[in-house]
């Protein structure tokens, strides 16, 4: 990032410049705020249309000849398939309540990042093609023909929305920009306008089972490596089973949790927890991904990738599924999985084998979030813990967009954090829970070429973190999302230096007192703990 | 998921609500009717012409009340020089003797509830 | 420019109404009749068109704690557990405008960092406008019903409680105009709003102002003949149309503006009055893991089955010691293309 935080803070929120009906986007001048197109190999593998080499800075985007007809038909089809889309295109009154709720608008001051205008980009074309007023009055009714410039503008702005749904909470009619963006991205996909940071993970996940393209032997190596690290740190040797039939639970995690810092420490936390409980679970290399970048592609793609989860649970004969800390994974699991790939009638009602609690709220999908599972354990006092082992950490919690606004998973992670940590401080109320701000890198935008926009979008979150750092000495930003764990480190380095990013179950792992462990003086990351080693053996 | 039943129920409710005046009128057998105002027997001239009186009588009465109560001015002079005592019961109702026929019919027709009668007692009423 | 277009359109309608006084049967009977029919039919058609598109997924936008573990306090209105609670949520949205009550304004604070302050003016103005309009509409029933029901008289009496001016000035008239002026003013003054506003945003505001001001004029200045107005209105309500003598031109201006307003509803953003009851993010309960939501067009898609995956990575799986479904000898050659096999739920 060449620009300093101070420079980014100069963005003005009162728009000036040309009329918004003017679609021109200068991609060359706006480098750092868009993502590279999908490599043709990924589109070919998935059977997506129009695979080719191209760049947004090219004058000619090599669209199919009849691209306008394709998009018109595509929109018509989607209007018939999604009530949300038709309704949201029809009823917005442009009251402006959503305008300053978008992190990208607050960070960039670009008026087309106001959710209302982002939707107008699509709505204006809808008016022109599908409404009487738009056909008759044209620009006077806010209608625009679908020109190549408008299409380019779509590419820029619909891959500049993280589908975080914060605006939807404030809309008097619940208009959800994520629905608009998802429909627009489906349309863009029809003519081959996709970004590689979405399509490569989708292709990888389809083939290998995870976004990163880790093949099964490497998956096993990674797990074993993490187990070695864990043994070094704690003296506890764990060998989780993989692809084992007959286990009670299938445990699904986002791939970053066994691949990259800091997610790997969260993964170690899971392993320690299950070890202490003696849980009968298995991992799967075929379902080595909880996340689902299909969510950022199309509803059909969600189904293609998500298919594996139930299929594998059925093949392995488990009773129910436990899911790890991941944001958009839980949007899919909570709101799409059962509908697309259910019913899960081959699974059993999810019951905690430790506490006997029936998770009735997951009675149909039969998949439980690990924070729900652990909160239940803590409530029943089933864990041997030493909270003081986290005393060197001063925590705040970032609600990830999807667990917050799709699931309503607000208190469970907090109960876990309070259960294993002594120093927990909330960020300002307008930046957490259902009003939480995005990390700026969700929905496939967490790539390096988009770094300026990520940092701009990260401003509201970064400011809130810096605030609790300065007022409470917070040094850890906890979250329950793998994309967060991938994007927030860069964000806090930029906006709130001195704060590290951690998963919630890493904190659990730190606090668990394991039978036969070596005296603990450092946490899972090897950072010295405040408690003397002897005191930790309670 | 179409929620067909709920949507149709909602639409029926919507039509029932917006068409309320129509079916209410039909059901109650309402006819287009104009109130029949009783004109004073034997008198042909009010303070001013009928159109002005229709438009301004409420203003006039309110002004009279203020003049009498606050300024103790009790005499009203018409543009053509006739003089009257400023009094609802003492002047107006002397000619318009039947309050029900002179006042109430129109007021009831238009659902107007003048607050004259909060204090005044119409002649003959208790 | 966009403001001017909308203002001129409304002024033109005023002129049309004024001139229309010369054709009382057209302006007084045909125009309101047609407008009402367009409103009802257009509204129903629009809602049915929405209804024909299904709600394929449960996409509740959750704004509070889910119902999960019994000891965790949940938010019934912001994360409804069932249809009944979702209906309460919609009712609260419709009747109280809860989402707008939550509204904040982002300001630049220390070192230009964002801070969020409650911003309830829009909520207040919107609430005042809608309720004032409702009361005004209910009060107008005195013209359409004979005899007027007691409830209408009661509303009338309370609305004129302060007995200011003669005829009595209605509170809702003042509030309605004040709210409209505020809503128009913020669109003009706030640079962001002015930037995004279309003629279609100014037009209904000017139109409503025109309706309200022509109404105020008729009551307080023009003092039109209400007996004649009621005769006209009753004629419409009882399907016995007649045009009485003595109707003021202002009545026709008011009628034309109201007619255009109601006929405009189905074609415009004013359809939010129906749409708010159908918004999938608010009408659905947050129960998508509890109860299966059915998608009528659940797509058939190409998937990568376990068997294909096992075949593709067989050598590596064997080398890494994975348990396999198919013994290595019996397996066909590996393939890397996605399956053509489809799943259908």
How does pLDDT run across A165-204, given as a tens digit for each residue? Answer: 999 999 999 999 999 999 999 999 999 999 999 999 999 9
Question: What integer is the mean pLDDT of C232-238?
Answer: 95
- Report yes or no on B10 lying in a domain: no
CB atoms within 10 A of CB A63: 18
- Could you give the dihedral angle defined by the CA atoms of residues A188, A189, A193 and A195, in that order, rounded to the nearest 10 degrees? 120
> 3-class DSSP state for residue A150?
helix
| Neighbour-count burial of C206, counting CB atoms closer than 10 A to its CB (0-12 exposed, 13-18 middle, 19+ buried) | buried
Q: Which two tokens stand for residue C132?
A: 């004032």
Residue B92: which domain range? 50-119
The count of domains in chain C is 2
Q: Which two tokens stand for residue C315?
A: 């050598």
Give me the pLDDT at residue A460, please.
97
Is C152 found in the same domain as C69?
yes
CA C235, CA C25: separation in Å to the nearest integer? 12
User: In this structure, are residues C114 and A13 in contact, taking their beta carbons and an 8 Å threshold?
Assistant: no
- Strand runs (DSSP E) across A99-182, as ranges? none
Which of the other chains make 3 or more beta carbon contacts under 8 angstroms with chain A? Answer: C
- Report yes or no on B101 lying in a domain: yes
Give me the pLDDT at residue B33, please.
86
Give me the pLDDT at residue C208, please.
98
Contact C61 A342 (CB under 8 A): no
Q: Which of B15, B111, B113, B115 best tests the C interface by mutation, with the highest count of C CBs <10 A?
A: B111
Contact B32 C156 (CB under 8 A): no
Of the candidates A376, A340, A333, the residue with the CA atom closest to the CA atom of residue A358: A376
Cα angle A217, A223, A225 (rounded to 5 degrees) comes to 100
Q: Which residue of C has its CA nearest to B26?
A: C238
Question: What integer is the mean pLDDT of A522-526?
Answer: 94
Q: Which residues pair with C106 in a beta bridge?
A: C116
Range with the poorest average pLDDT among A89-93, A219-223, B1-5, C17-21? B1-5
Q: Which two tokens stand for residue B43?
A: 């008198």
| Maximal CA-CA distance, chain B | 79
Of the candidates A443, A306, A420, the residue with the CA atom closest to the CA atom of residue A365: A306
Q: Which two tokens stand for residue C50?
A: 């929405």
Is C320 found in the same domain as C171?
no
> What's chain C's average pLDDT?
93
CA C78, CA C89: separation in Å to the nearest integer? 7
> Is A534 a residue whose pLDDT tops 80?
no
CA C9, CA B63: separation in Å to the nearest integer? 41
Q: Which residue of B has its CA nearest to C141?
A: B21
Closest Cβ–Cβ partner in A141, A242, A300 for C322: A242
Q: Which residue has the tokens 């096993």?
A: A220
- Beta strand B83-85 with C114-118 is unpaired
Closest Cβ–Cβ partner in B24, B34, B108 for C231: B34
Closest Cβ–Cβ partner in C61, C190, C312 for A174: C61
> Is B126 a residue whose pLDDT tops 60?
no
CA A269, CA A276: separation in Å to the nearest integer? 11
Interval A87-132: pLDDT, tens: 999 999 999 999 999 999 999 999 999 999 999 999 999 999 999 9
Q: Which two tokens stand for residue C288?
A: 């998508």
- Beta strand A367-369 with B75-77 is unpaired
Give chain B's length. Answer: 126
- In angstroms, how far is CA A283 from the centroid of its own chain? 21
C181 CB contacts (<8 Å, ≥6 apart)? C209
User: In this structure, are residues C62 and A408 in contact, taking their beta carbons and an 8 Å threshold?
Assistant: yes
Give me the pLDDT at residue A532, please.
57
> 3-class DSSP state for residue A420?
helix
Instruction: Quote the minimal CA–CA distance from C341 to chain B in Å.
Output: 27
Give how far Cα C342 sits from Cα of A304, A333, C259, Å. 10, 21, 55
- Report yes or no on C137 lying in a domain: yes
- Report yes or no on C105 lying in a domain: yes
Helices A177-190, A148-158: crossing angle, 10 deg rounding = 130
Q: Which two tokens stand for residue B101?
A: 């026929």
Identify the band that residue A17 occupies on the pLDDT scale cut at 50, 70 and 90: confident
Q: Which residue has the tokens 């409980």?
A: A277
C228 CB contacts (<8 Å, ≥6 apart)? C244, C245, C246, C247, C251
Q: What percent of chain A has pLDDT over 70?
A: 99
Interval A282-331: pLDDT, tens: 999 999 999 999 999 999 999 999 999 999 999 999 999 999 999 999 99
Question: What integer is the mean pLDDT of A41-51?
Answer: 97
Residue C265: which domain range? 2-283
CB atoms within 10 A of CB A46: 21
- Report yes or no on C288 lying in a domain: no
User: In this structure, are residues C162 and C171 in contact, taking their beta carbons and an 8 Å threshold?
Assistant: yes
Identify the band that residue B124 occupies on the pLDDT scale cut at 50, 70 and 90: low
Contact C271 A91 (CB under 8 A): yes
Closest Cβ–Cβ partner in B1, B33, B115 for C55: B1
CA C69, CA A357: separation in Å to the nearest integer? 9
Contact C47 B62 (CB under 8 A): no
Question: What integer is the mean pLDDT of C224-251?
Answer: 94
Give how far Cα C153 sits from Cα of A288, B108, C135, C148, C156, Å. 70, 10, 12, 7, 5
CA A48, CA A52: separation in Å to the nearest integer? 11
User: In this structure, are residues A474 and A394 in contact, taking their beta carbons and an 8 Å threshold?
Assistant: yes
Contact C145 B115 (CB under 8 A): no
> Is C341 a residue whose pLDDT tops 60?
no
CA A189, CA A195: separation in Å to the nearest integer? 9
- Report yes or no on B99 lying in a domain: yes
- Report yes or no on C230 lying in a domain: yes
In C, which residues are within 8 Å of A118 by CB distance?
none
Interval A329-368: pLDDT, tens: 999 999 999 999 999 999 999 999 999 999 999 999 999 9
User: In this structure, are residues C302 and C282 in contact, taking their beta carbons and an 8 Å threshold?
Assistant: no
> What's chain A's average pLDDT?
96
| Neighbour-count burial of A289, counting CB atoms closer than 10 A to its CB (0-12 exposed, 13-18 middle, 19+ buried) | buried
The sign one gets for the Cα dihedral A34, A39, A40, A44 is: negative
What does DSSP assign to residue A502?
E
Give me the pLDDT at residue B31, please.
86
Interval A389-448: pLDDT, tens: 999 999 999 999 999 999 999 999 999 999 999 999 999 999 999 999 999 999 999 999
Contact C146 B33 (CB under 8 A): yes
> Is B117 a residue whose pLDDT tops 90?
no
- Beta strand A395-397 with A476-479 is parallel
Of the candidates A126, A137, A114, the residue with the CA atom closest to the CA atom of residue A88: A126
Domain ranges in chain A are 5-30+49-193, 202-533
Give me the pLDDT at residue A2, please.
84
| Neighbour-count burial of A471, counting CB atoms closer than 10 A to its CB (0-12 exposed, 13-18 middle, 19+ buried) | exposed
Strand order in the sheet with A476-479: A395-397, A476-479, A500-503
CA A172, CA C93: separation in Å to the nearest integer? 7
Q: Which of C233, C251, C283 is the C-terminal boundary of a domain? A: C283
Give me the pLDDT at residue B41, please.
81
Is C330 found in the same domain as C253?
no
Residue C99: give its domain's CATH number. Answer: 1.20.950.20
> Is C329 a residue whose pLDDT tops 70?
no
CA C342, CA C291: separation in Å to the nearest integer? 25
CA B7, CA C44: separation in Å to the nearest integer? 10
Q: Which residue has the tokens 């969600």?
A: A302
User: In this structure, are residues A443 and A296 in contact, taking their beta carbons and an 8 Å threshold?
Assistant: yes
Query: Could you tell me the end-to-end alpha-carbon distance of chain A, in angstroms, rounded to an integer?
Result: 47
CA A442, CA A403: separation in Å to the nearest integer? 13
Window 252-271 of C: residues touching A by CB (8 A cutoff) are 267-269, 271
- Report yes or no on C296 lying in a domain: no
C111 interface with A at CB cutoff 8 Å: yes
Residue-wise over A81-100: b if at least 16 C-beta within 10 A, else e? Answer: bbbbbbbbbbbbbbbbbbbb
Interval B69-106: pLDDT, tens: 999 999 999 999 999 999 998 899 888 888 888 899 99
Q: Which two tokens stand for residue A314?
A: 């059925």
| Neighbour-count burial of A177, counting CB atoms closer than 10 A to its CB (0-12 exposed, 13-18 middle, 19+ buried) | buried
Interval C279-298: pLDDT, tens: 999 999 999 999 999 999 99
CA B54, CA B56: separation in Å to the nearest integer? 6
B19 interface with C at CB cutoff 8 Å: yes
Q: Which residue has the tokens 């109130």?
A: B35
Instruction: Quote the minimal CA–CA distance from C306 to chain A in Å.
Output: 7
Interval A234-244: pLDDT, tens: 999 999 999 99
Q: Which residue of C has its CA nearest to A338?
A: C292
Give me the pLDDT at residue C340, please.
46
| Maximal CA-CA distance, chain C | 101
Give how far Cα C166 sits from Cα of A151, A505, B48, B49, C94, Å. 60, 72, 19, 20, 35
CA C224, CA C248: separation in Å to the nearest integer? 6
Interval C155-176: pLDDT, tens: 999 999 898 888 999 999 999 9
Q: Which residues pair with A358 in a beta bridge?
A: A351
Q: Which of C77, C184, C196 best tests the A interface by mutation, with the highest count of A CBs <10 A?
A: C196
Range with the poorest average pLDDT among A301-310, A511-520, A529-538, B61-70? A529-538
Contact B11 C44 (CB under 8 A): yes
Contact A339 C56 (CB under 8 A): yes
Query: Could you tell me the end-to-end alpha-carbon distance of chain B, in angstroms, rounded to an integer?
Result: 66
Q: Which residue has the tokens 């939550």?
A: C102
Give me the pLDDT at residue A1, please.
77
> Is A226 a residue whose pLDDT tops 70?
yes
Of the candidates A319, A314, A320, A348, the residue with the CA atom closest to the CA atom of residue A333: A320
The count of domains in chain B is 1
- Report yes or no on B106 lying in a domain: yes
Q: Which two tokens stand for residue C21?
A: 């006084």
């Amino acid at each position: 990032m060449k620009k300093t935080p101070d420079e980014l803070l100069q963005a003005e929120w009162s728009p000036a410049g040309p009329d918004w009906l003017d679609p021109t986007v200068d991609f060359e001048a706006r480098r750092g705020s868009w993502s590279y197109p999908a490599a043709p190999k990924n589109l070919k593998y998935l059977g997506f249309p129009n695979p080719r080499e191209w760049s947004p800075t090219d004058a000619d985007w090599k669209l199919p000849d009849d691209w306008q007809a394709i998009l018109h038909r595509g929109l018509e089809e989607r209007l018939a398939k999604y009530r949300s889309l038709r309704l949201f295109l029809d009823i917005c009154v442009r009251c402006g309540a959503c305008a300053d709720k978008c992190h990208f608008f607050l960070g960039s001051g670009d008026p087309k990042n106001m959710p209302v205008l982002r939707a107008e980009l699509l709505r204006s074309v809808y008016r022109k093609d599908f409404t009487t007023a738009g056909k008759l009055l044209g620009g006077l009714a806010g209608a625009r023909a679908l020109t190549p410039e408008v299409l380019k503008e779509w590419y820029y702005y619909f891959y500049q929305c993280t589908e975080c749904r914060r605006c939807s909470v404030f809309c008097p009619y619940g208009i959800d920009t994520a629905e608009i963006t998802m429909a627009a991205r489906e349309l863009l996909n029809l003519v081959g306008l996709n970004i590689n940071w979405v399509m490569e993970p989708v292709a990888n996940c389809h083939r290998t089972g995870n976004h990163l393209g880790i093949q099964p032997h490497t998956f096993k190596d990674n797990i074993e490596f993490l187990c070695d690290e864990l043994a070094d740190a704690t003296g506890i040797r764990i060998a989780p089973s993989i692809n084992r039939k007959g286990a009670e639970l299938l445990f699904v995690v986002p791939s970053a949790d066994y691949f990259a810092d800091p997610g790997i420490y969260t993964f170690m936390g899971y392993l320690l927890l299950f070890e202490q409980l003696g849980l009968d679970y298995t991992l799967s290399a075929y379902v080595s991904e909880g996340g689902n970048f299909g969510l950022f592609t199309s509803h059909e793609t969600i189904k293609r990738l998500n298919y594996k989860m139930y299929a594998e649970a059925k093949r392995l004969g488990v009773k129910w599924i436990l899911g790890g800390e991941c944001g958009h994974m839980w949007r899919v699991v909570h709101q799409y999985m059962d509908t697309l790939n259910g019913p899960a009638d081959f699974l059993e009602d999810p019951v905690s084998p430790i506490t006997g609690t029936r998770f009735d709220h997951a009675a149909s999908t039969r998949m439980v979030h690990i924070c729900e599972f652990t909160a239940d354990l803590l409530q029943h006092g089933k864990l041997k813990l030493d909270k003081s082992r986290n005393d060197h950490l001063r925590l705040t919690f970032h609600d990830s967009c999807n667990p917050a606004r799709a699931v309503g998973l607000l208190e469970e992670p907090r109960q876990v954090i309070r259960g294993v940590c002594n120093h927990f401080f909330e960020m300002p109320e307008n930046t957490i829970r259902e009003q939480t701000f995005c990390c700026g890198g969700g929905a496939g935008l967490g790539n390096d070429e988009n770094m300026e926009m990520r940092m701009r979008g990260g401003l509201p979150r970064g400011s809130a973190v810096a605030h609790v750092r300065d007022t409470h000495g917070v040094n850890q930003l906890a979250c329950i999302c793998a994309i967060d764990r991938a994007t927030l480190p860069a964000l806090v380095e930029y906006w709130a230096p001195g704060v590290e990013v951690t998963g919630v179950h890493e904190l659990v792992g730190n606090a668990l007192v394991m039978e036969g462990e070596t005296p603990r003086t450092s946490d899972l990351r090897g950072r010295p703990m405040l408690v003397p080693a002897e005191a930790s053996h309670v | 998921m179409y929620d067909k039943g709920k949507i149709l129920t909602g639409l029926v409710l919507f039509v029932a609500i917006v068409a309320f005046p129509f079916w209410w009128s039909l059901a109650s057998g309402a006819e287009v009717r104009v109130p029949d105002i009783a004109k004073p027997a034997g008198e042909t001239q009010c303070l001013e012409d009928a159109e002005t009186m229709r438009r301004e009588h409420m203003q006039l009465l309110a002004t009279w009340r203020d003049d009498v109560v606050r300024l103790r001015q009790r005499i009203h002079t018409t543009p053509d020089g006739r003089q009257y005592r400023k009094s609802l019961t003492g002047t107006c109702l002397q000619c318009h003797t039947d309050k029900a026929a002179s006042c109430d019919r129109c007021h009831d027709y238009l659902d107007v509830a003048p607050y004259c009668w909060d204090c005044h007692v119409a002649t003959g009423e208790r | 420019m966009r403001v001017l277009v909308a203002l001129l359109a409304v002024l033109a309608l005023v002129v049309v109404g004024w001139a229309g006084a010369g054709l009382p049967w057209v302006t007084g009977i045909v125009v309101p009749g047609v407008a009402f029919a367009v409103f009802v039919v257009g509204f129903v058609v629009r809602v049915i068109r929405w209804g024909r598109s299904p709600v394929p997924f449960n996409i509740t936008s959750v704004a509070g704690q889910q119902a999960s573990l019994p000891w965790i306090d949940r938010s019934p209105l912001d994360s409804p557990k069932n249809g009944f609670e979702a209906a309460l949520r919609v009712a609260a949205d419709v009747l109280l405008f809860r989402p707008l009550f939550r509204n904040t304004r982002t300001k630049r604070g220390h070192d230009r960092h964002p801070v969020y302050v409650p911003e309830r003016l829009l909520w207040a103005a919107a609430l005042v406008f809608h309720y004032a309009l409702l009361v005004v509409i209910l009060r107008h029933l005195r013209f359409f019903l004979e005899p007027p029901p007691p409830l209408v008289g009661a509303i009338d009496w309370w609305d004129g409680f302060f007995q200011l001016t003669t005829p009595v000035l209605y509170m809702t008239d003042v509030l309605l105009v004040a709210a409209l002026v505020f809503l128009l003013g913020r669109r003009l003054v706030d640079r962001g709003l002015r930037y995004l506003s279309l003629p279609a945003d100014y037009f209904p505001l000017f139109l409503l102002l025109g309706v309200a001001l022509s109404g105020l004029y008729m009551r307080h200045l023009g003092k039109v003949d209400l007996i004649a107005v009621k005769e006209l209105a009753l004629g419409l309500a009882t399907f016995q149309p007649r045009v009485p003598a003595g109707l003021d031109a202002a009545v026709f201006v008011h009628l034309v503006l109201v007619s255009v307003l109601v006929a405009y509803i189905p074609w415009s953003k004013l359809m939010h009055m129906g749409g708010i009851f159908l918004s999938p993010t608010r009408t659905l309960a947050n129960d998508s893991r509890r109860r299966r939501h059915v998608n009528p067009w659940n797509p058939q898609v190409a998937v990568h089955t376990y068997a294909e995956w096992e075949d593709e990575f067989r050598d590596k799986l064997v080398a890494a010691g994975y348990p396999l479904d198919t013994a290595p000898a019996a397996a066909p050659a590996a393939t890397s293309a996605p399956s053509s096999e489809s799943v259908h739920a």
